[in-house]
Amino acid sequence: MEVRIQAIHFDASEKLVAFINKKADRLARHNTAISVVDVTLKVVKPETAMNKEAIIKVSNPAHEDLVASKVADTFEEAVDLAIEAIDKQLAKKKDQQRK
């Protein structure tokens, strides 16, 4: 599985990159067919609290791409929320395939 991280208008710290990779690996446990996880990080204007946005797109050859976008106070929190949303989408797709 490939994890591509794009930080728009800033440089992501090594700590943040490691955090994202760890969370993306968790997704792969649920669905081994995941080939690519694209993570886009950006700061939403204006400069206020709750201005960090994480957009996660999961490419899976078995079915269409899944996307989740979350805004939070920190990038870690936004990534966590977006991974949770993708997790739910993957579980839902898995249920649908079983029926």
16-33 confidence digits (pLDDT tens): 999 999 998 888 777 777
Tokens of 34: 């995941």
**Residue 63 reports pLDDT greater than 70:** no
Domain at 43, CATH number: 3.30.160.100
pLDDT tier at 72, thresholds 50, 70, 90 = very high
For residue 34, give the H/E element and its range: none
pLDDT tier at 93, thresholds 50, 70, 90 = confident
pLDDT at position 75 is 94
Domain span at residue 9 reads: 2-98
Domain count, the chain: 1
Helix pair 14-30, 75-98: axis angle to 10 deg? 10
